[in-house]
Structure 1
Amino acid sequence: MTALSQTIETPDADWWRGAVIYQIYPRSYQDSNGDGVGDLKGITARLPHIAALGADAIWISPFFPSPMKDFGYDVSNYADVDPMFGTLSEFDALIAEAHRLKIKVMIDLVISHSSDQHAWFIESRSSRFNPKADWYVWADAKPDGTPPNNWLSIFGGSAWAWDPTRMQYYLHNFLTSQPDMNLHNAEVQDALLDVVRFWLKRGVDGFRLDTINFYFHDKELRDNPALAPERRNASTAPAVNPYNFQEHIYDKNRPENLEFLKRFRAVLNEFPAIAAVGEVGDSQRGLEIVGEYTSGGDKMQMCYAFEFLAPDMLTAERVAEVQHAFAAAAPEGWACWAFSNHDVVRHVSRWGADVHDRDAFAKLLAAILLTQRGSVCIYQGEELGLTEADIAYGDLQDPYGIQFWPEFKGRDGCRTPMVWDDHAVLAGFSSAEKPWLPIPVEHQIRAVNVQQGDQSSVLEQYRRFLAFRRQHPAFAKGEIRFLPVHGNLLGYERSLGNETVLCLFNMSAEPVAADLPEGDWTVLEGHGFDSVAEANTINLPAWGAFFARRG
């Protein structure tokens, strides 16, 4: 075997560090069979779009068998594909096509809880003495019949549901139909790790771990303490949800999770070049937990918290603050940043309600996201500059939105179908009479075919900037050093080896002038921004950016 062939065949175990991961919500990406719901064959057909965009990997939200009470995040069988989405052989075909296009495939694992229709839970709830009686979190009522403690569900109300067969309560941090598994039980851990091996053997390149800090609960079932009003943050749950009134130190974030994550990582290490990213849902200790879960090289490769997914306005000061906080909390860790996903209001709407030039705003935010230190997740439709859809109450599907309407409208607004062709039925998403969620007119006019080839479009800017990013390894794996923040001017340097790249961003609708830092800088091109350098002064137009290289 030649040295060259050895290099080609050896997988890059570090591929995830600085990777750009494109999130696919399968219900809404592409429908191949005309039933109004996206599927695996549809994803496979659209992989060339992702390859042309320049993403390194895809993350596919759950496609396992499910009663769909929480649209796939309530799994009833971890080792199969829901017929709505296709078959295992179609998943294998998706993997093969993705790998042919040099795209890694990560899938969403939801193992803190299952569906109440999972065979494990059906057996567990059948009696107090069956072989799986302890596979879920069961507890006796208080003497007055009330739940065992004060824990609350993210979806509202008590986190405990009464089961008349066992005459006990079971824990559900989310819907009542999503009972929490008891990971204190070694058999449960073993069963879940077998699930991990099942999908690794099918060729997946990694996992996104849903609600990773919810895996363990306090064995003593102690009450959570109250949280002072000034410390309440609505990034994990909407502000109207009393879930924010507690400090969640006993129902999640438990130290026992660290040992389980080491077991999980050991399974990943049985296969070459596998990576995992964990979702840390906690408003008070998010970055601290990310630090714990990514330290030591024996747990998660990367995690993300909700700092950039929260409602808080994105400002120059905020970007620097979050990166500094992450560096302090997780000096050994690696973050995976996102501005949008399937659970939050799309960021162009969340932060740009008063912005006149939404396209320029979207392009600038993309450049900021794609130059952060860490890996990056792009959510489907983000590359088109899609806004949050306004879904009528009668069209709502999300139980979260139905529960808290109208103060909180749920997550359907960011989950509407992808728009491919403005001339086609349902924008090319489906040939059905009606899709599972409506497609807004304002989305259809931003379809892929409309933007493709238009060099001024958001789509072409994403493609252009991702290509620019690949030309400079400092963006993917380099260190970051922030310049002093001045108003709406955000500046930092990304450095790797002998290369340092200066990044300046005008986060405002008014032109800004900035001084070029000392040094021998070469102005970079090919990134799609038109800022002008005159001597040592950089003139940045509204929502403008500037890049220069030293070394």
Structure 2
Amino acid sequence: MVEDVSPAHPASDDAPWWKGALIYQIYPRSFQDTNRDGIGDLPGITRRLEYIASLGVSCIWISPFFTSPMADYGYDVSDFCDVDPIFGTLADFDILIKKAHTVGLKVIIDQVYSHTSDQHEWFIESRSSRTNDKSDWYVWADAKADGSPPNNWQSVFGMGAWQWDARRGQYYLHNFLVEQPDLNLHNPVVQAAILDVTQFWLDRGVDGFRIDALNFAMHDRALRDNPAETEFKRPPTRPFDFQRHEMNMSQPELLPFIERIGNVIQNAGAEKFTVAEVGGPRPLSEMKSFTQGNKRLSSAYAFDYLYAEQISADLVRKTQKEWPGIEGEGWPSWAFENHDAPRAVTRWKGSNPSKQYSKLLVLLMAALRGNGFIYYGEELGLEQGEIDFDDLKDPEAIANWPETLGRDGARTPMPWDGNTNVYAGFSDAKPWLPLQDNHASASVALQSKDPKSVLNFTKQVIALRNGCDVLRRGEIQFPSEGELLVFDRMHGGKIRRCVFNLGDNNLAYDGQVDIDVSVGSVGSLICPGSGFISKAS
């Protein structure tokens, strides 16, 4: 049991609560089941709010729980303004919000504005004819003279991005699954309908939104072909990777729509927080443009770390230097893992990574400038789950087997009490994805009793960041290059030096070591997997 249920008490200044906050992401299917169907639900989240508050995080982000046929496990929404029965009811959500606020937690929820499910009533009407009231609510186009799709655009999920619909005798656009038709957000009526969804959840008391795939929300009206990609950051694994996505994403008309979103949210209160997911060919420029000024969004994040095959001092310096979050450039957010990316400790260290390495990543996240996202189980050092093909649920993993670690391995059940006979406290029924044996041994109950556990180290590090304006709001500078990662965080005349050895070799460090919190042995030699944050000077 977790005894400390006090809410976080971050350092106070004139900045909004979210600036520099650490936010805990919950994938609801896998967090806590209360009705014995093997699937997590909203009452399960409510049941565990005291635990989340005890971590010291400021906010929770809940992945989609809306009505959905679950082709993409909630990111194919058939009703934006209701709860899918497998997760509970709107009344359950209201109880969750109230309880979260009672224990000192803000709540942000996912919003999927670029597409819907093909079972949404909007799409059902739109596909019924070319003349109905919602005929142009989605992206429809005629076939070429030879019957082929309108252009060469490719779907994220490894197929062409156009699907023929015999009822209309046209193709519709789907940047993701066939079951996820793209909304035509060039249409101001569609924009208004989406903004009504935003207002609906604001009225229910949410503190903000994480906006999914926002830069897919506008397409080139002329439907021009995407050019071929000529510079690959990593070997392509799907047709989508062979194109530069200049026409099916991130059109100029997107920024006025973002300002309309920002206006609705700001009218609900200055303390609301919005963060956009940004992928594609121009993530840095888009993250900045989506968040510039006071009319758009609070923050954004890309996949710099989420899809990185290895983390390094060079990668950290690059991301932090490119977007330090200075005045006028918006405020960055960072994540090492989430529901779309394999667990970081496995991705970067392979099978059986050390607890020390998990602690190092927690410390690094707390030291970076910007908001940090902690994915459920990351505070336990959970590794990527191993899912047999017959147990896969993720359509992307099934389509690309075995060339990807897949998303299912990062969505396995949260281990609460370490008893594998009752599925580690997640459920009394067989979970929707297999519980991992090595996860049960890393459960909350077991780690709570161990003062040297990843969980208790995470609480220590979050408490340090919460009480330190230097780490939450401060500037960042890099006094040196090289394999050893060294940077200074500065605010109000105070400095904290942060040093990390993310590589595999012992590295020399000739600076003064006056440690506030550390991982591993430090001194004149920094061992692999070691690091520290200095005391304030």
TM-score range, shorter chain: over 0.9
Q: Quick one: structure 1 residues 409 and 505, their matched pair in 2 at CA, closer, same or farther if it must change by over 3 Å? A: closer
Per the alignment, residue 502 of structure 1 pairs with 497
Amino acid at match of 1:302: S
Alpha-carbon distance in structure 2 between the residues aligned to 1:415 and 1:550: 38
**1:76-225 alignment to 2 at 5 Å?**
76-225=78-227
Amino acid at match of 1:450: L
Displacement of 1:102 in angstroms is 0.6
In the alignment, structure 1 segments of 5+ residues that lack a partner are: 1-9
Query: Over aligned residue pairs, what C-alpha RMSD do you find?
Result: 1.9
Alpha-carbon distance in structure 2 between the residues aligned to 1:499 and 1:221: 53
Q: Is the Cα–Cα contact under 8 Å of residues 21 and 372 in structure 2 kept in the other structure?
A: yes
Q: 2:52 aligns with which of 27, 32, 50?
A: 50
Matched, 1:398 2:394: yes
Q: 1:348 aligns with which of 338, 345, 350?
A: 345
Per the alignment, residue 529 of structure 2 pairs with 543
Q: What's the secondary structure of 2:66's corresponding residue?
A: coil
Q: What's the secondary structure of 2:495's corresponding residue?
A: strand
Q: What's the secondary structure of 2:209's corresponding residue?
A: strand
Alpha-carbon distance in structure 2 between the residues aligned to 1:329 and 1:414: 33
Alpha-carbon distance in structure 1 between the residues aligned to 2:509 and 2:294: 40
Per the alignment, residue 233 of structure 2 pairs with 233
Displacement of 1:406 in angstroms is 1.4
Q: Quick one: structure 1 residues 388 and 550, their matched pair in 2 at CA, closer, same or farther if it must change by over 3 Å? A: closer
Q: What's the secondary structure of 2:496's corresponding residue?
A: strand
Alpha-carbon distance in structure 2 between the residues aligned to 1:529 and 1:388: 22
Q: Quick one: structure 1 residues 255 and 98, their matched pair in 2 at CA, closer, same or farther if it must change by over 3 Å? A: same
Q: Is the Cα–Cα contact under 8 Å of residues 522 and 531 in structure 2 kept in the other structure?
A: no
Amino acid at match of 1:548: S
Amino acid at match of 2:173: L
In the alignment, structure 2 segments of 5+ residues that lack a partner are: 1-11
Displacement of 1:48 in angstroms is 1.1
Displacement of 1:326 in angstroms is 2.2
Q: 1:325 aligns with which of 322, 326, 339?
A: 322
Residue deviations 1:297-331, cap 9 Å, x none?
A: 21111000111111331011111012112249996
Matched, 1:269 2:266: yes
Per the alignment, residue 295 of structure 2 pairs with 298
Alpha-carbon distance in structure 1 between the residues aligned to 2:525 and 2:402: 44
Alpha-carbon distance in structure 2 between the residues aligned to 1:115 and 1:296: 33
Q: What's the secondary structure of 2:47's corresponding residue?
A: helix
- Shifted more, 169-178 versus 311-320: the winner is 311-320
Alpha-carbon distance in structure 1 between the residues aligned to 2:201 and 2:33: 24
Per the alignment, residue 6 of structure 1 pairs with none
Matched, 1:492 2:487: yes
TM-score, normalization: structure 2? 0.94
Alpha-carbon distance in structure 2 between the residues aligned to 1:371 and 1:509: 21
Q: Quick one: structure 1 residues 170 and 299, their matched pair in 2 at CA, closer, same or farther if it must change by over 3 Å? A: same
**1:281-430 alignment to 2 at 5 Å?**
281-282=279-280, 284-327=281-324, 332-353=329-350, 358-423=354-419, 425-430=422-427
Q: Is the Cα–Cα contact under 8 Å of residues 287 and 329 in structure 1 kept in the other structure?
A: no
Q: Is the Cα–Cα contact under 8 Å of residues 325 and 331 in structure 2 kept in the other structure?
A: no
TM-score, normalization: structure 1? 0.92
Q: Quick one: structure 1 residues 329 and 227, their matched pair in 2 at CA, closer, same or farther if it must change by over 3 Å? A: farther
Residue deviations 1:207-231, cap 9 Å, x none?
A: 0000010010000000001111xx1
Residue identity (%): 49
Residue deviations 1:354-396, cap 9 Å, x none?
A: 7x75111111111111111100000001111111111000000
Alpha-carbon distance in structure 1 between the residues aligned to 2:275 and 2:71: 25
Q: Is the Cα–Cα contact under 8 Å of residues 315 and 507 in structure 1 kept in the other structure?
A: yes
Amino acid at match of 1:164: A
Amino acid at match of 1:161: Q
